[in-house]
Chain A
Amino acid sequence: MGDKLCILDYGSGNVGSVFNMFSTIMDRVVVSNRPPDLISSTHIILPGVGAFGSAMEKIKKTIPLDVLEEEVLRKGKPFLGICVGMQVLADKGFEFGECKGLGWISGTVEKMESGDFSLPHVGWNNIEVSRQTKLFEGLSDNQDFYFVHSYVFKEKNSNDAAAKTDYGEKFTSVVARDNIFGVQFHPEKSQKAGRIILKNFLDIK
C-alpha cells in the first residue's frame, strides 16, 4: 500500500482545484471527513478559501477534530493547511470578530498592514525562505506563488515561520513545525512551483 491523501471536506470552495492538482501526482486521493479515511490516510490536507470565522465554524461542524488531532498531533501524520487552512492553525483570528482557531501553531491571524497596496493581496508574489524545510526542496529561495488573502498569520514563536513575503509589510507566508505545515498561498494554482511543494509534502513520511 502506497501513500493515501485525505483532503479534509468541510465545504471549502477550492477543494476541486486541490483535488485536481493531486490527481496528477498520485492515485489515492480522497475528499472526506470520515474517521476511517483520516485514519487510513498517510497525509492530510486542510484546504481553504474565505473568512477565518466561517471556516472554523464549518470545520468544527463537519470534521471529527478528536480523530484529526489524534492522527496529526499524537501520531505525527504530515499535515498541510492551505490559505485559511493555514490560518486556522493559529490560536485565534480577528476576521469579522474574534474567533478561536485550532491552536496547533501558536499565534494570531490579523488584517494585513499593506500601506498603499490595495487589499485583498491577489496575485503572484515571491517567498523568501527564512528556514529550510522539506517543502522547499528543489525550489529557488525566491519562488513566486499565487496569493489571495487580506489576513496574515502572526506567529508567537518566530521559529515557526519558514518563509516571508513582502506586500507593504513582510508577512509569514509559510509556517512549519515538526509534521505540521501551512502555506498562505495556493499551491494548487501555482503551476509547477505549487506542484513541487505538494510533491515534497507527500515525500515527508
Chain B
Amino acid sequence: MKKDSSLLAWGLLFPTLLVLGCFVIYPALQSFVLSFQDVEPFSKQSFFIGFENYMVLFRSPDYWQSLRVTFFFLVMTVIPSLLLSLAIAITLDANPFFQNFLRTLFLLPVAISSSMAAMLWIFIYNPTAGFLNYILDVMGIQGPNWLADPDYALVAIAVATVWKEIGFNIIFFLAGLTAIPTELKEAAELDGASPRQRLFYVVLPLLSPTLFFVSVVSVINSLQSFGQIHILTAGGPMGESTTLVYNLYRDAFVKFRTGLASSEAVVLFILIMGATVFQFRMAKKRVHYG
C-alpha cells in the first residue's frame, strides 16, 4: 500500500520535475557556470576565465550607468505607485458615489501588458502632436522631446509604468482594507480619534502586511521591467533608460556576449534576492500581523 502510493507520487510529480529541471534548475546553474566562461558567439566553444566577466562588468562605466538607471527607475516607480494606489484605495474604500464604476476604471490597466501600456503613452509623449506638450504649451511651458531627451526619457517611462501598475496594487489594498473589521474603526471614532488618527493608528498598522507584500512585489517588478522600455526608448537616449535587464538583453541577444550577460544575470539575481531579504528584515520591525 505504501510502496504503491510512493510510486504514484513520483509519477504525478514527474512532469513537474522534468520541466523544472530542464527549464529552471538546469539553466539557473548553467547561467552561474557560464558567468565564469568566455563563450565564442558562433562556435559556442567556451573557456573558463574565472572572474574576468565580473571584472569587465564592474570596470565598465556603462554597467555602472545601468545600475544607477535601475535604481532611479526603482525609486521613481515604486514610491509613487505605492503612495498613489494606497491613497486611491483608501478613498475608494470610503464608499464614494459610482464606487463600482470608479473601481473598474482604476483596475483596468491590470488587463493591459507593459508593452501595450507603452503604446498608449507613446503618442501622448510625441513632442509636436502629442497631448502632453499641448497642455504644457497652453500653460506657457515649452515641453521637451520626452522620449529622446536624456533628462526626461526615464521619467516618461516611469510615469507610464506607474499608470499601469497602480491598478494591481489597488486590488491588494482594497482586499486588505475590506478585511479590517469596521468595529475597530467605529470604536476608534467613538473614542474621539480624528480621521487622521484613525488612518495612522488603526488603518495603516492593520494594513501593514498588505503594504509589505505589495512593496516586495513592486520592487521585484520594477527591477524586471522590460517591455515598456523596449517599446518606448529601446534603452536610449545615451543609455539613460538602459536598466540592468535591458543591458542583459542587449549583451545576450544583440551583442551575443553570452558569458558577460550570464554574469549580469547572476548579479541581477543577487540584487533581487538582496532587495527582498532587506525588505523582510525591515518588515520584522514594522509589520504587524494580527
State whether these chains interact: no
Query: Which A positions have Cβ atoms within 8 angstroms of B?
Result: none
